[in-house]
Amino acid sequence: MEYAIWIILIVAMLVIEASTTNLVSIWFAVGCLGAIVAKILGTDIYIQILVFFVISGLSLALAWPFIKKHRQQKSVATNYDMIIGKTAIVTDDISGDKFAGSVKVGGKEWSAVSETGDDIYAGEKVVVKSISGVKLVVDKIKTENKIKEC
């Protein structure tokens, strides 16, 4: 009976693992194998459960450095990222109540919102702080800051 439980759990863990793109349940399948070995050696169910948890935890702990090394996603800078920190000219007033105005940076016109919520008027210079969706998040230029020119 206990063999059947552990085999069903192995199959369930492998099905879950096969249906995901991340290593989620393979550790528990390895733990189930350890519990089956414990059953073969004649231990009772409590020892099998203990073996299951210990081996599952150990297999995860041993594999973690390898997983961490290979799962780090590298962010690839896009051309749009290059305008962050650049100076832009406001071409259409930016309202502080989050209605987008527009700015010109790098020869292109963008929708823009104020980072601080301040009103920014056409003709003022701003610095691009970030990109949110298709809008630039900008802030008024403070004279003491050194800004990359567009």
Does the reported pTM lie above 0.75?
A: no
Give the residue, 53 or 150, on which the prediction is more confident.
Answer: 53
What does the pLDDT read at residue 77?
A: 60
| Residue 18 maps to a domain | yes
Question: What mean pLDDT is predicted for residues 132-137?
Answer: 84
Q: What are phi and psi of 83, to 5 degrees?
A: -85, -10
Residue 146 belongs to some domain of the structure: no
| DSSP calls for 33-66 | HHHHHHHHTT--HHHHHHHHHHHHHHHHHHHHHH
111 in Cβ contact with 100 (< 8 Å): yes
The answer on 60 and 90 residing in a single domain is no
What's the pLDDT tens digit per position in 58-105?
999 998 888 777 766 666 566 667 888 889 999 988 887 666 788 998
pLDDT in tens, 44-64: 999 999 999 999 999 999 988
Supply the range of the domain harboring residue 120: 80-140
Same domain membership, residue 66 and residue 6: yes
Domain end, chosen from 71, 89, 110, is at 71
Residue 126: closest CA among 96, 92, 99, 86: 86
**pLDDT over 50 at 145, yes or no:** no
What percentage of the chain has pLDDT greater than the value 70? 86
Q: What is the CATH number of the domain that holds 129?
A: 2.40.50.140
Which of these, 125, 62, 149, 95, lies nearest to 135 by C-alpha position? 95
Q: Which two three-digit tokens encode residue 103?
A: 């700015």
Q: Which burial class, exposed, middle or buried, applies to 74 when counting CB atoms under 10 A from its CB (0-12, 13-18, 19+)?
A: exposed
Q: How many domains does the chain have?
A: 2
Please tell me whether residues 63 and 87 are part of one structural domain. no
- The predicted structure's pLDDT at residue 75: 60
66 plus 112 within the same structural domain: no
